[in-house]
Structure formats: structure tokens, C-alpha cells
Structure 1
Amino acid sequence: MRSLGTRRAALVAGAATVAALALGGCSAGQVAETAILDTPIAGVNAASESEAGKVLVRNLQVEYNGIEGYEANENAPLEVSLFNETNEAVTVTISSQPAANRPDVLTAKQVGFVSTATVTTPGEVASASAEPGASASPSASAEPASSVRPAQIKIGPQGSAVFRPTDAAQLQVVGLSGELKPGMTVNLVFEFSNNATPLVLQAPVASPLTPAPRGSAEIHEETEGGGH
């Protein structure tokens, strides 16, 4: 039969073990939560400063287009999220200007929302049954044409605006000044209607969601003296 002192010692040891396990579980939960909160975002992040508050720019990047990237004068879709933390509506205007002393940073002729519409143009198509010498009859042909609306984005108080390359009307940099490949950037200027200082940001090309495929390796076998 155990003495009273022995039983008290056992109870104290058991309580200490339970406390240690609980503390360890709590610490593990905090580490996991911190890892989630500190997960980095691929694009560029910034914030405007004004007396009224901040407008946040989050995850600014150019859509990945393969290792070849984009050709000069081509358009490239942008991805960006804007958060208005002020109590008044703010209009954000996005444009592109040359970066001072940064010849490696590209620019664009325009930044805007690009939508494609079908335009019907008159044409002449000869009938298959027409006799020699017969004149061609006029007909209409449909051709896709794109229109660009300037990137002027109005965001309500405490509101947000999110733009992705999958949108019907994509936010794009139009007319790149040169070839844009992974690892390069485009210079963009964000101006705010609440008199906040403009933000000059370099939008990087996004990283691919999956690694680029590797080239197939060729294995050459050499035989000596016709051996197998």
C-alpha cells in the first residue's frame, strides 16, 4: 500500500506531464498559424500613404507565358489586387513610364482593359458557280478587333478590386517596349485621386505553377568488338 507522500508525488508528476503536452500542442499550433500568415505572395506589394488612409497594391505581376516570354510590341495580361482602406472612394490610374537609369526595365505604350469584339468588314468573294468574266459579288467577312479602355479604376470606401488574367476584359500592358522574359519587369505608375504620392512599381513576370519540362536525355551505348 502506497503512502500518502508517494501518491502526492505521483499526482504532481502526472499534472506536470499533462501541462507539458498541452504547452507543446499550443506551440505547434502557433507555429502552424504563423507559417500560414507569413506565406509569401509571388507578386509585388505596396501601399499608398495619405491623410485619409492607405490604398494597398497586392500581388502585382505579369502572367507567365512560358520560357519564351512576350515579344516586343506584344500585350501581356496583369494580375493585381487593390484594397481601399479609406472612408472615401478612390480612383486608381495605372500607366507606364520609363524607369530612370534602368534600361533593363521595360515599359508599355498603354495600360488598360482589353476586350475583343467581332467587326464585320465588306469584301468580295467570287461565287463558285459564276461564269468566266462574271464580276465578284460583295460579301461581309468577320474579323476580331480589340479595344483598349484606360486603366482608371474606381474603388468604393473600404472596397476592393481584383484583376486576373482569366477576366473577360483583361487588364494588360499594351505594346511592350522590348522582349519580356521570365526574370524581367515592366515599370508601372499607380496614381491616386486622393492626392496620395504615386507609386512606381516594377511588375515581374509570374513564376510558372509547374516546373518547366526538361529536355529528353539521349543515351548512347557503345559496344566493343560487336559485343552485346
Structure 2
Amino acid sequence: MRSLGTRRVAQAAGAATVAMMALVGCSAGQVAETALLDAPISGLSTQSPDGRVLIRNLQVLYNGPEGYPANGDAPLEVSLFNQTTEPVTVLISSKPLQNEVEGVVSAQRIGLTGGAPAASPSANPEPSGSRPAASIPPGDVTQASSIPDPSVQPSLPSAPASAPAAEALQPARITIPALSSTSFLPDDTSKLFAAGLSDELKPGNSLSLIFEISGYSQPLEVNAPFAIPLSPASRGPVEAEPEEHE
């Protein structure tokens, strides 16, 4: 016959087993909240002060941890959305910074190659149910991760295209038809380049750009961030240090 103490221990163990089974049953079929989160996009999203042109996923394409050298060229990625019923022309440029800012680089020229980009008859870069573009206060600058754009996918960390000679670049003057959008993506024929960088442009730095929009006298000055790779850089083999013998 079991003692009273032994029976109490057995009853406590049984109760703990039942409680654990209940917890497992309650959690079955549930999905962790973190599994529903979208992957972040490193590009910058903003708009013209009057809200006529939306700028989405603006960034310098990732080429590796070493980045781009001073006086070199760097390809850019961006999507532009014309929210009006009239064609809009956007001129993209850069200029030397009046006050040096650590980590911010300028370029001698912003240019195009590969001809004019194709326009898409879509002027709504945001999915249904998300915050409409009109609700963004004028001059507001937000990260693209807070305004998802299904029509613009994040660039892969592949080697960007090489820039052509500076004289082959056309001025970055882009005309967007009414209620349409234009994009410069890594795999597109049309490329957007920053030529003649004022300093090294590497991860953690940004590129100073100016957007001049037809019909609006005030230029929009923004800093295009360096893209974040989708996977970490590979690590080289670790060399073992020689052991010291006494």
C-alpha cells in the first residue's frame, strides 16, 4: 500500500501533465505574430511638398560592404508616381554640400542611360486598406517599410550594372504621364546613376539628391540611403592564432 505522501506526489505530477496538455492544445493551429511581419525595405519614401509626386523606395544599390569609391559612380533605385491628371517632369540632381555632414555624399552629376523608362498607368503605390498618400503631411519623410508598395520589390544584393562614361549619361529629366508611374529597378534597361561621388559611399552612408518638379518652385532635398542587403555578408575563414609555449 502506498503511503499518503506518495499518493500526493503522484496526484501533483498528474495535474501538471494535464495542465501542459491543455496549453499545447490551446496553442495548436496558432501562428506567431512575428511570422506575419513583412521583410523591411531599406529605401526612402517621401513626396513633393504639394503631394503631386510620390517618391518610393529611393536608395543606392548595394554592391558589397566596401561600397563605392570617391569619384566613382553609383546606380540608384527609385519609383516615381504622378498623382495628377497632367504630365509632370521631374529633374534629379545633386550638389556639393554647403556644410559637410558626416556620412552624406554628393555627386557631380545624376544621369540616365538606356533610354527613357517605361511608364505604368498606375498612380496608387499603396495597397487597399493602408494609409492613403494624401494623409502624409507635406514634407514628411518616412521609411518605405512603413508604407509598403506591392508594385516595387526590394532589390537583391547582386552586383549593380557598371556606369557608362560620364559623357554618355543623359540629364536625369523624367516626364511622367498623368496618373502614371515610372521606376528605375536593378533589372531594367533604363538606369539612373550618380556620377563623380564627392567621397566614399558605403553602407551606413547616404547620397544627397535634389528633386525639381515642374509646376512647383521649391526643390525637394532628400538623402538616399545605401541599400541594406537581404542576407549578411559571408565571413572568411578564421585563422587560428599560434599557441605560445613557455
Shorter-chain TM-score category? 0.5 to 0.7
For residue 80 of structure 1, the aligned residue among 62, 78, 81 is 78
Please report how far the alpha carbon of residue 199 of structure 1 lies from its aligned counterpart in structure 2 after TM superposition. 1.2
Q: Does the aligned pair in 2 maintain the 1:85–1:159 contact within 8 Å? A: yes
Given the superposition, is the C-alpha separation of residues 89 and 115 from structure 1 closer, same or farther in structure 2, using an over 3 Å criterion?
closer
Assess, with a 3 A threshold, how the Cα gap between structure 1 residues 106 and 223 changes in structure 2: closer, same or farther.
Answer: closer
Give the structure-2-normalised TM-score: 0.59
Change (3 A) 1:42 1:147: same
Structure of higher RCO (CA pairs closer than 8 Å, 6+ residues apart): 2
Structure 1 segments of 4 or more deviating over 4 A? 220-224
Work out the CA distance in 2 between the residues paired with 1:88 and 1:196: 17
1:43 paired to 2:47:
no
Query: Structure 1 residue 106: deviation in Å?
Result: 1.1
Greater displacement, 198-207 / 147-156? 198-207
Find the aligned partners of 2:235 and 2:40 in 1 and give their Cα distance. 27
1:19-30 aligned at under 5 Å gives the runs: none
Q: Partners of 1:196 and 1:58 in 2: how far apart? A: 21
Deviation at 1:220, TM superposition (A): 5.7
Which consecutive residues of structure 2, in runs of 5 or more, have no partner in the other structure? 1-25, 116-163
Cα deviation, 1:14-54, whole Å, max 9, x if unaligned, reads xxxxxxx9xxx9xx8xx79x845xx643111111132xx42
Alignment of 1:209-228 (within 5 A): 209-219=230-240
Task: Name the count of aligned residue pairs.
Answer: 169
User: How far apart are residue 196 of structure 1 and its match?
Assistant: 5.8
Partner of 1:207: 228
Question: Which residue in 1 is equivalent to 2:191?
Answer: 170
**Partner residue, 2:206:** 185
Q: What is the Cα deviation at residue 152 of structure 1? A: 0.4
* Structure 2 partner of 1:109: 108
The 2-side partners of 1:61 and 1:212 are apart by 19
Equivalence for 2:144: none
Could you tell me whether the CA contact under 8 Å between 1:83 and 1:160 is conserved in 2?
A: yes
Shift of residue 194 of structure 1? 2.0
Verify the 8 A CA contact 1:48 1:197 in the aligned structure 2: no
Tell me how far apart the structure 2 counterparts of residues 222 and 41 of structure 1 sit (CA, whole Å): 45
TM-score, L = length of structure 1: 0.64
Query: Could you tell me how far apart the structure 2 residues matched to 1:49 and 1:87 are?
Result: 17
Q: Which has the larger radius of gyration?
A: 1
1:108-127 matches, within 5 Å, as 108-115=107-114
Q: Hey, what's the Cα distance between the residues in 2 that align with 1:79 and 1:102?
A: 25
Q: Aligned equivalents of 1:201 and 1:96: distance in 2? A: 10
Structure 2 contact 53–80 (Cα < 8 Å) conserved: yes
Equivalent-residue separation in structure 2 for 1:35 and 1:218 (angstroms): 38
Amino acid at match of 2:75: P
Give the % identical residues.
48
Q: Which amino acid aligns with 1:89?
A: P
Structure 1 residues 69-104: Cα deviation after superposition (integer angstroms, max 9, x where no partner) = 111111110000101111211000000013342332
